Amino acid sequence: MTTPAYRIDELISAKAIAARVEALAREISAFYRGTDKLVVVGLLRGSFIFIADLVRELNLAVEVDFLEVSSYGNSTESSREVRILKDLRGEIEGRDVLVVEDIVDTGHTLRHVLSILGTRNPKRIEVCALLDKPSRREVDVKARWIGFEIPDAFVVGYGIDYAQRNRNLPHIGAVRFTGEPE
């Protein structure tokens, strides 16, 4: 796949991310104190680094599972359905579930994921999203915990990709297209 030339400007440093993850984990640990084995569900692939860091800071017994759904890509607004590409391995019926997402953008993905998981009768589902772009929201979904609210920029790093690249950056950067061919 050819991509136009771009550069990446640091938006959130690795140090700032680590401090925020620690603070989120403290709040989440307090919220779920006494819960019997919380199921932490990472949405692949963008959340893989975030969930790895987050669960290591949780002072709770957790089970970690993953769900991968298709992104709606360039389909039209009306057909923004998502399909399950990789389902959970475990059961969530009667359990406390924490969905860990990289970015809530329009909110369509999260809304579909919550409705899919909701049919399995969990006790309760909450969401922790690393990044939130509230100005882009098209459907009313909210994460109980948000790492950082960001403006309408295309971001990469800390697990998040642009055309499958840049997931391994330790910080979060904004993609700036430079206009020249690569």
Binding site for ligand IMP (CB under 6 A): 46, 71, 101-110, 154-155, 160
How far apart CA 73 and CA 9 sit, in angstroms, is: 25
How far apart CA 24 and CA 179 sit, in angstroms, is: 38
CB of 110 to ligand IMP, least distance (A): 6
CB of 96 to ligand IMP, least distance (A): 22
Q: Are 136 and 105 in contact (CB under 8 A)?
A: yes
Give SS3 for 150.
coil
Q: Tell me which DSSP letter residue 78 carries.
A: G
How far apart CA 53 and CA 85 sit, in angstroms, is: 24
Classify 124 in phi/psi space as left (phi over 0), alpha (psi -120 to 50) or beta. beta
Which of 29, 71 has the CB closer to ligand IMP? 71
CB of 49 to ligand IMP, least distance (A): 13
CB of 93 to ligand IMP, least distance (A): 25
Give SS3 for 79.
helix
Catalytic residue among 53, 102, 105, 132: 105
Active-site residue, 105 included: yes
- Annotated catalytic residues are 105
